[in-house]
Amino acid sequence: MSFGGFLDNSTGGGFGGARMVADIPYSNNMATGATAIAQPRLMSPSLPKNIFNSPGLSLALQPNIDNQGDHGSRIMRESLEGSVGRRSREEEHESRSGSDNMDGASGDDQDAADKPPRKKRYHRHTPQQIQELEALFKECPHPDEKQRLELSKRLCLETRQVKFWFQNRRTQMKTQLERHENSLLRQENDKLRAENMSIRDAMRNPICTNCGGPAIIGDISLEEQHLRIENARLKDELDRVCALAGKFLGRPISTLATSIAPPLPNSSLELGVGSNGFGALSTVATTLPLGPDFGGGMSNALIPASRPTTAVTGLDRSVERSMFLELALAAMDELVKMAQTDEPLWIRSLEGGREILNQDEYLRTFTPCIGMKSNGFVTEASRESGMVIINSLALVETLMDSNRWSEMFPCMIARTSTTDVISSGVGGTRNGALQLMHAELQVLSPLVPVREVNFLRFCKQHAEGVWAVVDVSIDTIRETSGAPSFVNCRRLPSGCVVQDMPNGYSKVTWVEHAEYEESQVHQLYHPLLRSGMAFGAQRWVATLQRQCECLAILMSSSVPTRDHTGITASGRRSMLKLAQRMTDNFCAGVCASTVHKWNKLNVGNVDEDVRVMTRKSVDDPGEPPGIVLSAATSVWLPVSPQRLFDFLRDERLRSEWDILSNGGPMQEMAHIAKGQDHGNCVSLLRASAMNANQSSMLILQETCIDAAGSLVVYAPVDIPAMHVVMNGGDSAYVALLPSGFAIVPDGPGSRGPTSNGQVNRNGGGGGGAQRVGGSLLTVAFQILVNSLPTAKLTVESVETVNNLISCTVQKIKAALQCES
């Protein structure tokens, strides 16, 4: 059979009297201008001859003419070129108008073979009509009959013309989408073809993994060849991952030495690779596949513990985590250098011997990793070192756990939480742990606002027994869900470097560096905050030493000689737990943290430095139900902090300022030591009855003192309830409302002697004599003014609490002879 004869409408051939016609397009110059695709169908020999001259026939028969002569090939090429040229003209025509109609006829009307051909008469839409049609098509590609009728009237067109225009436009859009999809599929096919060729080349030349030479094909199965190729690729990826992990952890990570590796699971290690600075926020995460286990559990450690819940935010979260990691690495580098470098970065002060940060040297040495300082903010920086009776691993675990961190520093941390765990550590340790945290830091005074900070906490092991934990604010990167509406503090790289000592102690070097809004702080506390003594390193180290000493005593099997021998071990634990709850509630009332929901009162006859707040106590077994009123104020006294503390904690002198003492001395019924200093203890005091009809009252008191300040907190308690507690009963049901005092130095250089008369053990190492300055005393009371939670607060109750504070302060001044 000759294809040339077939193209000339020959009736011969093996088609059984029927000719196959496929893929005959309707062009714009045929019926309606629509681009319609005809389905393959059998045509009878009686059809018009010009159908077989369609260029679509050449394309349909192209796969069957590979072995034919030049005559058929030439005709096929000419037909193909004509088809391509005609289609390009059709597309151009469609893009111009999108609708050329012959008397409004549709493409389906032309399929009737029995109708005689009519003369073609075209109608070209005006640009205004096309614009209206296109506008409606964008809103509604499938208009209903009502919309078409309304549009035809507005455009002076027939309804059928509007209908066919939309049909043609939809067909045109479908064709364009199919062309785009075909282009994408062709690109993907090219990639797969290239990958297939590379695999075939690798299979033709296999390499022996033992000797590195060419392998014998007959000795290796096809499946093993695939596994060896996959194993070589995985080893290359593993080397890259280990190199990045080594940079992240600061030590080399060993790789696996396996001959055949299974495919990797769908896990990812997100490490940011970029400069040390943090100015470029467009850093892109480098996502690498990670194996099931290597380097001591690396895969489980560095994979983020909390994944995004929606796929939409996956890329943003990945970029954000990369930014967090880069910030943590830069902050860790800065912390270690600030902890190890002395002069000229740190200069020893002549007043008090404390260390002062040289700001000029700091700016020359470090690049700001969280941006420049905001307007109106001031900087505070401090560094302190000390020996602590705790090993490095235990301290690191405490710092990385938000609850244990808050319990270790109860008077400094009002509230804290871990908002996101980006990395939990490596090999079951905290090395490489990175987490996002929120905290409220406090100074026990109503004149100093609570500092709310959102920060990254990063832990890294630098050597055997040497760890570092660094914090750095992230408010410049994003506003997290727990972020305050106004950031009043930024935490620059701060934290501690811990080194194990042979005697079971650890050497802790603490660095605190922050920027804060000073205008919100009362003038009375400006010197204390500027020196870094309020939120600074000295206070963190002193509190850590005191708390670890207390834990060591409680864990010891021997009872201190000063302790009351009648209290059992379980009773001691119950009393200490009750005292801790009392102190926590006292701090929350002084600083108005979010632990309780306080409502601030503005009363005209109350001193401006006295803050009065109220809250409702409902369904809390640890507090009496009703309306609780809290009042607190801070005053300056020209006496040393040590003398003021000794006066307030002495039960024999309590009658000089406490109205609960009934005017007489108090007796200590029980004593539990919490440290080597006599001032660190929990006591149970009993006031003497004035007459036979008056019952005696018990007062639970906790006192603590360290280099940064001291605290005296007390609360009246029920006698039967305390008997239960002292016998080891549950202390959670003992209702109490605390009151007390917080004492801090009035500024740098005023660290007074301790209770044993020796110079303060954390005096900064200065050899000169320290001045004995004044004290900042905070007085706070919490009183139940009404036992009904729904009752209204009266002005008389507020005046009573205000008078109680004023009277107590005046009595203290008179007793210490400092009224002037």
- The pair phi, psi for residue 115, each rounded to 5°, is -85, 140
- The pair phi, psi for residue 94, each rounded to 5°, is -65, -40
Share of the chain above pLDDT 70, in %: 66
Share of the chain above pLDDT 90, in %: 25
Answer yes or no: is pLDDT of 667 > 80: yes
Q: What pLDDT score does 389 carry? A: 93
Least confident of 138-152, 217-231, 341-355: 217-231
The helix-helix angle for 795-815 and 641-649 (nearest 10°) equals 110
Question: Which tops the pLDDT comparison, 507 or 198?
Answer: 507
3-state DSSP call for residue 453?
strand
Question: Which tops the pLDDT comparison, 801 or 301?
Answer: 801
Give me the DSSP letters along 202-232: HHHS-B-TTTSSBPPGGGS-HHHHHHHHHHH
Half-sphere exposure of 18 (CA within 13 A, CB side): 8
Answer yes or no: is pLDDT of 8 > 90: no
> DSSP secondary-structure letter at 561?
T
What are the structural domains, with CATH classification, of the chain?
127-178 (1.10.10.60), 320-553 (3.30.530.20), 559-749+772-816 (3.30.530.20)
Q: Could you give the CA distance from residue 181 to residue 311 in angstroms, rounded to a whole number?
A: 24
Look at the block and give the residue holding tokens 């320290």. Answer: 770
Average pLDDT score over the chain:
74
Look at the block and give the residue holding tokens 């090993």. Answer: 391
The answer to whether 385 and 373 have CB atoms below 8 angstroms apart is: no
CA distance readout (Å), 637 to 423, 569, 777, 780, 806: 49, 40, 7, 16, 14
Half-sphere exposure of 407 (CA within 13 A, CB side): 16
Least confident of 93-102, 112-121, 269-278: 269-278
- The pair phi, psi for residue 638, each rounded to 5°, is -80, 50
> ∠230-232-235 over CA atoms, to 5°?
110
CA distance readout (Å), 299 to 238, 252, 264, 269, 522: 11, 15, 11, 8, 50
| Structure tokens, 657 | 């300022």
Look at the block and give the residue holding tokens 């000592």. Answer: 501
Q: What pLDDT score does 577 carry? A: 92
Answer yes or no: is pLDDT of 178 > 50: yes
752-780 as b/e: b if 16+ CB within 10 A:
bbbeeeeebebbbebeeebebbbbbbbbb
| Structure tokens, 5 | 């004869």
Question: Which tops the pLDDT comparison, 73 or 388?
Answer: 388
Least confident of 55-69, 163-177, 220-234, 717-731: 55-69
Max Cα-Cα span within the chain: 136
Q: Read off the pLDDT of residues 571-606 as tens digits, 9 standing for 90 and up.
A: 888 999 999 999 998 998 888 766 677 777 776 666
Instruction: For residue 340, count CB atoms less than 10 angstroms from its CB and return exposed for 0-12, middle for 13-18, buried for 19 or more.
Output: exposed
Mean pLDDT of 12-16: 40
CB atoms inside a 10 Å sphere around CB 217 = 13
Dihedral, CA atoms, 494, 495, 501, 506, nearest 10 degrees?
A: 130
The answer to whether 356 and 498 have CB atoms below 8 angstroms apart is: no
Is it true that the peptide bond before 344 is cis, omega within 30 degrees of 0?
Answer: yes
Q: What pLDDT score does 484 carry? A: 45
Q: What pLDDT score does 291 carry? A: 32
**Residue 621: band (very low, low, confident or very high) from pLDDT cuts 50, 70, 90:** confident
- Which spans in 401-448 are helix H? 402-408
The beta-carbon contacts of 255-259 under 8 Å, at least 24 apart in sequence, are: 255/294, 256/291, 256/294, 258/231, 259/209, 259/231
Q: What pLDDT score does 544 carry? A: 94
Mean pLDDT of 522-536: 87
- Pick from 430, 381, 708: nearest CA to 547: 708
Mean pLDDT of 401-411: 92
Instruction: For residue 576, count CB atoms less than 10 angstroms from its CB and return exposed for 0-12, middle for 13-18, buried for 19 or more.
Output: middle
Q: Read off the pLDDT of residues 251-306 as tens digits, 9 standing for 90 and up.
A: 566 654 333 334 333 333 333 333 333 333 333 333 333 333 333 333 333 333 44
3-state DSSP call for residue 95?
helix
Q: What pLDDT score does 652 carry? A: 87
Q: Which residues on adjacent β-strands are paired with residue 458?
A: 434, 470
| Structure tokens, 225 | 């060849």
Least confident of 88-97, 328-337, 406-415: 88-97
Least confident of 45-59, 314-328, 454-468, 660-674: 45-59
Q: What pLDDT score does 695 carry? A: 61
3-state DSSP call for residue 498?
strand
Q: What pLDDT score does 792 carry? A: 78
- The pair phi, psi for residue 611, each rounded to 5°, is -100, 125
Please give the sequence-ordered ranges of beta strands (E in DSSP) within 212-351, or none if there are none. 268-272, 285-289, 346-348
- Pick from 727, 675, 664: nearest CA to 553: 675
Answer yes or no: is pLDDT of 402 > 90: yes
**Residue 246: band (very low, low, confident or very high) from pLDDT cuts 50, 70, 90:** low
Instruction: Tally the residues of the chain.
Output: 820
Among the ranges 47-61, 347-361, 415-429, 761-775, which has the highest mean pLDDT value?
415-429
CA distance readout (Å), 389 to 130, 504, 505, 545, 754: 85, 7, 4, 7, 20
Q: What pLDDT score does 495 carry? A: 95
Please give the sequence-ordered ranges of beta strands (E in DSSP) within 501-578, or none if there are none. 506-517
Mean pLDDT of 44-48: 42
Q: What pLDDT score does 392 carry? A: 92
Answer yes or no: is pLDDT of 771 > 80: no
Question: Which tops the pLDDT comparison, 720 or 74?
Answer: 720
Q: Read off the pLDDT of residues 773-786 as tens digits, 9 standing for 90 and up.
A: 789 999 999 888 88
- Pick from 327, 310, 386: nearest CA to 549: 386
3-state DSSP call for residue 331?
helix
Least confident of 53-62, 195-204, 383-392, 429-438: 53-62
Least confident of 330-334, 489-493, 545-549, 593-597: 593-597
